[in-house]
């Protein structure tokens, strides 16, 4: 080792010593809206590193970490469930960092801000969360609240900082060296559901056209457009394979989606109907509607998985739909319908308005967000079947769907 290098090391050694963590954690306070960490001196955002890890024990929660360059002057602190988190622990992580670990519902995201000597951790979507909680507390009995608190305690007892450390280095080593604070992802999440897939071709139309292929092409175009407009878009299937109906909304729920859009193409039974007559765009949202017309509309898309449920189970599913969700889905359906018709008619003036309707579509049951099913036209109609192959028609459709998402968020 050269003399200069030795000198450099010496200087570095002192520099590290000089700038080593000086901030001292003196107190931690939690409330339903925030966690306030009080330090002896101001903390800079360069001293805070935020990361997250999936919770292997429970897929509906994850862990959010904040590593703060500081020394704790207090004992490790543990907190059980508040409106903000399922569980939270604050303790010294290594010589220079304290670690705040929160167990969160996958729908929630914590962010931090610095206020003088305080670091305040709070929910990114505080307002929407509070709204949810009002509904929750109306629906839930005290008993289920207690069960939840018990569960939260279990979660807390599993919160082992040592194992967190191990996971970090073995599962996601990139997290360790990532000194950039994570930018919170505030994009709205749209789940697009191309109907059918794989062994389920959906309806078969003129020239043996398959519904599954047409709706997939439109879904991909819509995804690309929405992504250009800044949305985060996920498809329930990204290829030609079969997905169970209930797994489609379950996927949307697990991703914390803001909107769910199922795309289908309509058909009539060619043996009994005039294929030229049935045409146009129809948009549906889920409601407990029991009318014969609504039932008929849903029958084709529901398929066997709805048939195997007895009528009591079906009724029970539909009865849990809350009024607020139906109204939101209705609004989204109107936006979809208007925007799709407006875009298509710019080029295809004769596009028929099949109306916005409520119907008990099984694929929409279980969605925690506004959910709509659009039938983009009839593949049994010669004109419409031909248009489905036309790139101009497909692009206009995609633009209509993307415009609808924009206008939904502008107004709601």
**Residue 193 or 301 with smaller CB distance to Zn ion:** 301
Other Cβ atoms within 10 Å of 401 Cβ, number: 28
**Shortest distance (Å) from residue 202 CB to Zn ion:** 4
Residue 233: strand, helix, or coil: strand
**Shortest distance (Å) from residue 360 CB to Zn ion:** 15
CA separation for the pair 279, 60 (Å, rounded): 42
- Fill in the DSSP letter of residue 60: T
Cβ-Cβ contacts under 8 Å for 375 (sequence gap 6 or more) = 264, 265, 266, 281, 282, 283, 284, 354
**Residue 223 or 264 with smaller CB distance to Zn ion:** 264
Q: Is the dihedral of CA 17, 23, 28, 33 positive or negative?
A: negative
CA separation for the pair 70, 262 (Å, rounded): 49
**Residue 77 or 354 with smaller CB distance to Zn ion:** 354
CA separation for the pair 315, 72 (Å, rounded): 56
Q: Which residues pair with 233 in a beta bridge?
A: 190
**Residue 202 or 205 with smaller CB distance to Zn ion:** 202
Residue number with the shortest CB distance to Zn ion?
264
Binding mask 216-255 for Zn ion (x = CB under 5 A): ----------------------------------------
- Residue reference for tokens 């765009």: 281
**Residue 91 or 236 with smaller CB distance to Zn ion:** 236
Gyration radius from the chain CA atoms: 27
**Shortest distance (Å) from residue 373 CB to Zn ion:** 8
Cβ-Cβ contacts under 8 Å for 383 (sequence gap 6 or more) = 279, 350
By CB under 5 A, is residue 264 in contact with Zn ion?
A: yes
**Shortest distance (Å) from residue 259 CB to Zn ion:** 19
* CA-to-CA separations, 60 to 226, 237, 383, in angstroms, rounded: 26, 21, 46
By CB under 5 A, is residue 403 in contact with Zn ion?
A: no
By CB under 5 A, is residue 205 in contact with Zn ion?
A: no
**Shortest distance (Å) from residue 161 CB to Zn ion:** 50
**Residue 158 or 246 with smaller CB distance to Zn ion:** 246
Task: Choose the binding region for Zn ion from 80-88, 186-194, 248-256, 263-271 (rule: CB under 5 A).
Answer: 263-271
**Shortest distance (Å) from residue 37 CB to Zn ion:** 52
By CB under 5 A, is residue 202 in contact with Zn ion?
A: yes
Q: Which of residues 291-330 bind Zn ion (CB under 5 A)?
A: 301
Member of 195, 197, 354, 360 binding Zn ion (CB under 5 A): 195
**Residue 81 or 212 with smaller CB distance to Zn ion:** 212
Task: Choose the binding region for Zn ion from 96-104, 191-199, 269-277, 336-344 (rule: CB under 5 A).
Answer: 191-199
**CB-CB contact of 25 with 38 (8 Å):** yes
CA separation for the pair 236, 323 (Å, rounded): 26
**Shortest distance (Å) from residue 135 CB to Zn ion:** 31
**Shortest distance (Å) from residue 394 CB to Zn ion:** 17
Q: If we measure between CA atoms, which residue out of 28, 30, 114, 36 comes closest to residue 72?
A: 28
- Residue reference for tokens 């360790």: 176
**Shortest distance (Å) from residue 247 CB to Zn ion:** 16
How many residues bind to Zn ion according to rule CB under 5 A?
4
> What residue ranges bind Zn ion (CB under 5 A)?
195, 202, 264, 301
């Amino acid at each position: 080792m050269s003399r200069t290098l030795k000198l450099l090391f010496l200087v570095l050694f002192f520099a590290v010593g000089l700038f080593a963590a000086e901030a001292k954690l003196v107190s931690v306070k939690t409330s339903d809206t925030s966690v306030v960490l009080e330090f002896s001196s101001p903390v800079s955002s360069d001293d805070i590193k935020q990361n997250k890890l999936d919770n292997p024990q429970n897929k509906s929660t994850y862990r959010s970490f904040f590593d703060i360059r500081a020394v704790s002057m207090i004992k490790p602190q543990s907190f059980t469930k508040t409106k903000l988190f399922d569980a939270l622990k604050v303790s010294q992580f290594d010589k220079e960092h304290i670690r705040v670990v929160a167990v969160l519902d996958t729908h929630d995201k914590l962010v931090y801000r610095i206020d003088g000597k305080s670091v305040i951790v709070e929910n990114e979507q505080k307002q929407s969360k509070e709204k949810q909680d009002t509904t929750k507390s109306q629906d839930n009995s005290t008993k289920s609240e207690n069960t939840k608190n018990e569960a939260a305690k279990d979660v807390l007892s599993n919160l082992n900082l040592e194992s967190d450390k191990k996971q970090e280095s073995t599962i996601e080593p990139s997290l360790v060296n990532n000194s950039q604070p994570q930018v919170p992802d505030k994009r709205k999440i749209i789940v697009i559901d191309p109907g059918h897939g794989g062994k389920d071709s959906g309806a078969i139309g003129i020239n043996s056209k398959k519904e599954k292929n047409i709706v997939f092409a439109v879904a991909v175009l819509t995804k690309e457009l929405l992504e250009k407009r800044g949305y985060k878009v996920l498809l329930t299937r990204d290829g030609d394979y079969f997905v169970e109906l209930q797994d489609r909304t379950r996927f949307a729920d697990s991703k914390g989606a803001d909107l769910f859009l199922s795309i289908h193409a309509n058909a009539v039974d060619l043996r009994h109907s005039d294929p030229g007559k049935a045409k146009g765009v129809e948009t549906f949202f889920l409601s407990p509607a029991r009318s014969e017309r609504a039932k008929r509309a849903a029958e084709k898309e529901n398929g066997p998985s709805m048939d195997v449920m007895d009528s009591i189970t079906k009724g029970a599913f539909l009865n849990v739909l809350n009024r607020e969700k139906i109204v939101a889905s209705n609004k989204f359906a109107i936006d979809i319908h208007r925007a799709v018709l407006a875009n298509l008619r710019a080029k295809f003036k004769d596009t028929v308005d099949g109306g916005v309707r409520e119907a008990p579509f099984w694929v929409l049951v279980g969605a925690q967000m506004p959910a709509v099913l659009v039938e983009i036209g009839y593949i049994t109609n010669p004109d419409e079947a031909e248009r489905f192959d036309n790139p101009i028609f497909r692009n206009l459709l995609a633009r209509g769907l993307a415009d609808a998402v924009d206008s939904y968020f502008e107004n709601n």
